[in-house]
Structures are given as structure tokens and as C-alpha cells.
Structure 1
Amino acid sequence: MSNPYAVVAITKHGVEMARDLGERFQGTDIFYMSKFARGDEDSLGIRLFDGSVKLILPDLFQRYNGIILVISLGAVVRMIAPLLIDKKTDPAVLVIDDRGEHVISVLSGHLGGANELTRQVAAVLEARPVITTASDVQGTIPVDLFGRELGWTVDSFDKATPVSAAVVNEEPVAIIQETGERNWWKYDKPLPAHIRVYPDPVSALLEPFNAALVISDRLLNDEDQEKLLANGVLYRPKSLVLGIGCNRGTGLEELEAGVLDTLQELRLSVKSVRNVATIDLKKDEEGLLALCSKYNWELVTYTPEQLNTVQLPNPSDTVFKYTGAYGVCEPAALLSAGAEDWLLEKKKIGNLTLSVARVAFPQLSVEESTHA
């Protein structure tokens, strides 16, 4: 797949639109029927096909993130029905009418990105975007996309459908936010009255609610899981920084075991780790690079001078002798997280030392974040 999107046309006017999109909308591969060939298709990278478009759709479903069809909606529904597997994996599907007046989000509006793609394509064509998902129409929280642009991940998706129904049907919904970015409300209007925000489960459980959105880096205990996730979705913000120091040549297996065991002891989720922080002497440490690569974590490094700006309760002359810094994992974690204290100051595990800090997010209210 050379591009993320495929544009498919089967009529004369559709071909004009497809070629136009190919020029003006980045990331598109163009497909249309051979009978409309103009002779320049090879030079433009346009793919020609014969017979029914239905024959090429299975391949397009496998190869592209989004499929834009200049074909009638009814025909598209019939053709794609046998190809559908799961909304978490199906590509975005859009339909454009033959006059280019409407761009319709058909499939995978949220998780597949069809709604946003519809808006983008409609803007290029100066057409009307047609989006029918309730949360978009009502201007409320899309449960399956909540926090995605902030880097949050969903840790429990089983109840996404009933929780979404509670949100759009204006049932009492509790948002329990223990950490993470506060600027998740994207509309220039107040949060709907049926959605209440709480700082912790204790305060949320003082009032009745039908569904919960839980934003936490904690491993929830059994009671919280039972009461909050019976009809709730759990989100993992990128809120933890691992400060790591290690002896030269420490392997991936030892580093990984130390990190995972420590996070388990602290009852923290590895899915909420944002990055690893260390001294710049370790920027080429193979084990650290392999750890960060495996978990898709950024490796942030600091000079000894930067690390020494952090006041440490237990500065080490031995560490200073070898690195020029009075500590590595502890100050690196605080500097990277912008925090004033640690969740774990320092733990020595074999050939590594580990500190954990929680990112200091601005404490905006929902109303303030609307205008942030």
C-alpha cells in the first residue's frame, strides 16, 4: 500500500472527481474502469480495472485504511456487507454522489476515522459532509474515541456500546479522572448536564450513575472494577515516566522484568507509561533502546548538569564519580514528568535502578479546557 486511501469510480463524472481528489487530496490511490482510460494513467499511478468493482473490494479492504467510493450508497452497502468483520479492524468507507454534492460516512466512523475523513474530503470538494453517528450529531463524547488524540488507549472495550448509548441517551454518566490531560472536551459549550466529572471513585460512588468513563493509570482493585466497569470503559492516559539507570550492557530481558515487576507492585498500568528518561551517557544503550522500541516509548536523555539541578534526598558520590551526576533515575524521572515528587523514588534491581513519576498535567476544569 503506497497510500492510506483508495478512491474508486465507475462513472464518467465519478472519474473526474476521482482524478481531482488524486491531485488535491494527499495520500490517495485512484481506481476506475478501463473504459474511461485517457492514456496517462500509468504516468499518474492510476489503477484501471475491468468488470464489477465488487471484484476488487476485498483487496482494497485489506490494503487501505480508507475507501472512498463514487458510487450510490445502496450499491455500496450491498457490496461491502460480506466483507465486514469488526468495527475495530474494518477500514473507513465513504460514499460520494455522482455530482459531488454529498460525502457520506458509511462505515467505521469513529475507530476507522471515516467521520474525520468525510469532513476532509468534503472540504476539498466543497461538498456537504453527511455524518450520522449520534455523538457527532449531538456534539458529545464519542466513547470509542475518547482521548485518542491525547494518546490515551482503551483498556476495556467490552462495554463501549452500552456506555455510548448512555452518553447519547442522556442517562447519568460519571467520568472518573484520576490523571491525564484535562482538555478533552472539544466543544465550545458546557459539558452536558447528565455527564459529571469526579476526581476519584469514592466521590463518584456517592451519586447514582448508569455508565462510567474511567481515566486512570492505576490497576483497579476488584471493588472498583465491579462498581465502575460493570457498565464502564477504562482509559489509559500516558501519565507515567520511568527514570532508569543501568550498568553498561544490561539486557532487554533484565530491564523489562524489572520495569514490569515494579509497576505491578505499584499497581500501575504499563499502558500508561509515556517515556523512559535517563542520562545522555545512556542514549546508545542497546538494552534501553530495545526496551523503548518494544513498547513504543520515547527515550529522553539529560546531561549531568541538567540532572544536578534536581535536589535529591540521597545524592550519590559514587554515581557522581562515574557520570558527573549525583543521581540518574530519580532526577531524570522528575525532569521529564515535570513533577515535584516520585511515585517511586528509587529502586535498585540487579543492574538497573528505577524511579517512577507521574506527569504533572495542568489542572484545568472542563469549562477552562474548552477555551484552552
Structure 2
Amino acid sequence: MIGVFAGAAQRGDAADLAGLLGADAVVPDGSVKPAVQRLWSRLGGAVLFLDAGSAVRLIAPLLRDKRSDPAVVCVDQHFVVALAGDADALAHHVADLLNRTPVVTGGPSIDSVLDELVEQLDATADGNVEGCAAAIEAGEKVVLRNPLGFPLPALPPNVVPAGEDATWMIIIDDRAAASKDNVLRIVPRTLIVGVGSTRGASATSVGAALAELDAQGGLDLRAIKAFATAEAKADEPGIVDAVEDWGFWHGDTAELLTFPTEELAEIGVPNPSSVVRNSMGTASVAEAAALRGAQILGHGAPIELAAEKFKRDNVTVAAARVLPRGRLALIGLGPGASEERTPRAEAEIRRAAFVVGTPEAIDAVSSLLRSGTEIRHEGASDLAARGAAVAFVAFGAGPTLDDPVEADVVVVPGVWDR
């Protein structure tokens, strides 16, 4: 939704501009300040018929971060000024419509696209995000490698899957790699690490065994999403303390999942142990707990054993991976106007590489589509099953699926339920 805000003297100009901006533009009733405050969290863009100083004072208390702030521009007699968010494109568009001069501070906010990518993948960025963003913004070729096949949003056209002359490379992977210049690594949290130990093993021993997942298993420990073990080991101080130590050094927290031994005994593993079976009642703790944890946290996604068990100093560790699959968001646009659209629905539309729907439904959300988003009128399920990030939009209560889809499916209320 684009809000066009103006005082009484300029409401006519605001209404004229809203008509030119399309169905997503609204002119809220009432005074400018309370209207902006009321609608702020639901705005994709805001046009303020105010001088720059007044506009800055109005929006300053509302600004949070560049990923969530709407694009904000202000309009005076001669200029359209980009103030906040990814506002340059909106400033140019409004200036063209009003025959005024755009005032912008730079190119599109590519770094926000990279930030959003990190957030969407629940990932850690390793490298110079600002330098990579600057290269993309300058139009330089940037290679993106996505070996595990994560569903990605639409990216700028100079971010390509291959190319020998690229100045930068983006790698999305949970495997360990040496840091290199002009390489931005995005490390998603995909790994569940299973841990077993003898009674009394120290946190130092558990930590040393975890390090083997990097040294021998080739996994990036920042990709750990959770730890898992048998219920009998839930209060083992060495395991509990090692999990806390991991959180301290990585500035994050990870859950310690625990499972009954009879549940672990049902999990097939490549390296069962008769010794462990005789003492624990299950042929595996580390591998079985990792796989069982991945099953639970994957919510039906495919899983695999990313690292078979390593044993060191009476501690055994293994890692399972939740494999990515496509994402399909089912979004009902409802009978309501665009100003009633929920922020979550708009966020799902922006994160999609493909938006599918009737021409009328696509037109209703056109202002939300970022550059490079592909529009289709059918085939949403097939696209998601092939690993794409897809938003399926429809009027009314929303689209439904008759057949199961091999993808993560989220149902998003597209309009406020009032």
C-alpha cells in the first residue's frame, strides 16, 4: 500500500496523485501525523505533501531499520525528495507523474536486498556485505552460487548463476570454506547436531568433538540450528555447558532437543554400535538424535546425514541437514481495499521470485513487485515443487490447493480480519 498524505489545502493534489499511482495508493482521512502513525506498519510507500524538515520530524520516531521501513518521499512545489527506506525509485516515479525534479542520494538500496536474503534464510553473513552491495549497485556482474537450492527472492539482473568475469561472488551454503576477498558467504541454519558422551565428559571435550564437524566434516558451525541427544543425557553437564558455550561464541542460541532411547532406536543410521545398544537401548545416539531432530524441525522437508559420527575423548557427534525446498505462499486479497492488506501478505509478495494469479490479481499487487519478479498466471504448485519462492494471489478468501505440494506451503490472510 502507498499512502499519500496531505493537509486540507493539498488533499486535492494528493487525490490526483493517488489516482495516477494506481489501485494500491490511498489518501487517508484526517490529519497527516495521526494518519501516518496509524498506517505506518502497513505501508510499502508513503508520499508526504510536506517540506523536508517537517517530513523528517514526522517520520524520525517511526523509523526502525532499512528492511522494514516503507519508502518515504516528500513533495514540495519543485522537488520530490527521497527520505527513507528504498525510496529512490518512488521519488523518480512521483517526480515523473508531477513533472517535478527528483532528489535522491544514491542508487537502489541493494544492501537491504542482501540483508533481507540473510533474514529470510535465517543465516549468517560472512564477508563484506557493504562491498558486495556496492558492486551490485554499480552494475558489476556478481555470481551467485546456491548449491543446496534455497528458494530465493527476485534479485538484481546483474546477479547471475555463472560468469568468469564476475567481480564478486555470493555463496549460499552451510559447508565450511576459507574466507576470500570479494566473496560473500551466506550461511543458513540448516544443521541439527547430535551429541552423545560417556558420563562426566567435560564441556571442553564436547567442544573439541564439535570442532571435528568443521575440521573433518567440512561443516560451518554457524549453520547449527539445534543440538540433539538422548533423554538420558539431557542433564549431562558437559553437553549442556558446551551448547551454552556455542551460543556465547556465536552470539546466538540453539535448542537442545532430547529424545527417548526407544524413539532413537527406530531411526536407521549408517553406523550402529552394539556397545551403545547394550548400554543405552539404542544402537545410536549422535546420528539417530541428529536425524530425529531434523525430522521434527524440518516439518516434512527432506533431510540427510550431513556428517557421519565422529568420536573424540569419549564424545560422539554427528550432523543432519534439513534440505531446502520451494516455498508457496497462498495469499487471499479479499474483497477489501489495498489499505486493508496485512503487512505479512505484502512481505510474502515481496520475497517471491514468482507471483502467480489472474491479470486482475497481479495488477492489484503490482506496486509490491520488486525488479526481476516474474509474473505467471498459472503453475504455482509446479514452480514451488521445483524449488522456487512463489506467491499465489487471488481475490476472495484466497487460492486453495487440491493436491499436496512438495514445498513449504504457508497460508497468509491477505486482508485484516476486522
TM-score, scaled relative to structure 2: 0.51
What does 1:257-268 correspond to in 2, within 5 Å? Answer: 257-268=208-219
Query: Secondary structure of 1:142's partner?
Result: helix
What does 1:26-175 correspond to in 2, within 5 Å? Answer: 97=56, 100=58, 102=59, 113-116=64-67, 118-119=69-70, 130-133=83-86, 138=108, 142-157=113-128, 160-175=129-144
How many Å separate the matches in 2 of 1:166 and 1:351? 48
Partner of 1:239: 190
Decide whether the 8 Å contact of 2:203 with 2:242 is kept in 1: yes
**How high is the sequence identity, in percent, across the aligned residues?**
23
How many Å apart are 1:352 and its aligned residue? Answer: 1.1
Query: Secondary structure of 1:342's partner?
Result: strand
Q: What is the aligned counterpart of 2:313 among 347, 350, 362?
A: 350
The code of the aligned residue for 2:199 comes to R
Query: Secondary structure of 2:170's partner?
Result: strand
How many Å separate the matches in 2 of 1:209 and 1:307? 47
How many Å apart are 1:329 and its aligned residue? Answer: 0.7
How many Å separate the matches in 2 of 1:270 and 1:308? 27
Q: CA RMSD in A?
A: 4.0
Query: Secondary structure of 1:217's partner?
Result: coil
How many Å apart are 1:247 and its aligned residue? Answer: 1.4
The change in CA–CA distance for 1:353 and 1:136 in structure 2 (over 3 A counts) is: farther
How many Å apart are 1:104 and its aligned residue? Answer: 8.5
Moved more, 345-354 or 113-122: 113-122
The change in CA–CA distance for 1:105 and 1:195 in structure 2 (over 3 A counts) is: farther
Q: What is the aligned counterpart of 2:232 among 266, 281, 284?
A: 281
Work out whether 1:194 is the aligned partner of 2:147. no
Residues 325-349 of structure 1, C-alpha deviations (whole Å, 9 max, x = no match): 2211111112223465423322221
Runs of 5+ unmatched residues, structure 2: 1-32, 42-50, 74-80, 91-107, 248-253, 296-301, 328-351, 355-387, 392-408, 410-418
How many Å separate the matches in 1 of 2:67 and 2:289? 38
Work out whether 1:306 is the aligned partner of 2:266. no
Runs of 5+ unmatched residues, structure 1: 1-16, 27-71, 75-94, 107-112, 123-127, 198-203
How many Å separate the matches in 2 of 1:299 and 1:135? 45
Number of residue pairs aligned between Structure 1 and Structure 2 = 257
The change in CA–CA distance for 1:24 and 1:288 in structure 2 (over 3 A counts) is: farther
Query: Secondary structure of 2:316's partner?
Result: strand
Decide whether the 8 Å contact of 2:209 with 2:310 is kept in 1: no
Decide whether the 8 Å contact of 1:172 with 1:211 is kept in 2: yes
Decide whether the 8 Å contact of 1:96 with 1:104 is kept in 2: no
Moved more, 316-325 or 134-143: 134-143
The code of the aligned residue for 1:183 comes to P
Residues 170-205 of structure 1, C-alpha deviations (whole Å, 9 max, x = no match): 33221112347x2341xxxx54432223xxxxxx3x
How many Å separate the matches in 1 of 2:205 and 2:237? 12
Query: Secondary structure of 2:201's partner?
Result: coil
How many Å separate the matches in 1 of 2:114 and 2:88? 8
How many Å separate the matches in 2 of 1:280 and 1:175? 41
How many Å apart are 1:121 and its aligned residue? Answer: 12
TM-score, scaled relative to structure 1: 0.57
Decide whether the 8 Å contact of 1:25 with 1:121 is kept in 2: no
Q: What is the aligned counterpart of 2:151 among 175, 183, 195?
A: 183
